[in-house]
Amino acid sequence: GQNIDQPTEMTATEGAIVQINCTYQTSGFNGLFWYQQHAGEAPTFLSYNVLDGLEEKGRFSSFLSRSKGYSYLLLKELQMKDSASYLCAGVDNYGQNFVFGPGTRLSVLP
Sheet strand arrangement including 18-24: 4-5, 18-24, 70-75, 60-65, 53-57
Our CB check for other proteins shows the closer of 16 and 33 to be 33
Cα(47)–Cα(96) distance, integer angstroms: 19
> Which one of 12-20, 54-62, 69-77, 87-95 is the stretch in contact with other proteins (CB under 8 A)?
87-95
Of residues 17 through 46, those in contact with other proteins by CB under 8 A are 30-31, 33, 35, 41-45
CB of 92 to other proteins, least distance (A): 8
Cα(50)–Cα(52) distance, integer angstroms: 7
Our CB check for other proteins shows the closer of 15 and 23 to be 23
Residue 16 phi/psi, 5° resolution? -85, 180
Cα(64)–Cα(31) distance, integer angstroms: 9
> Which one of 12-20, 54-62, 72-80, 83-91 is the stretch in contact with other proteins (CB under 8 A)?
83-91
Q: Which residues bind other proteins (CB under 8 A)?
A: 4, 30-31, 33, 35, 41-45, 48, 50, 87, 89, 91-92, 94-103
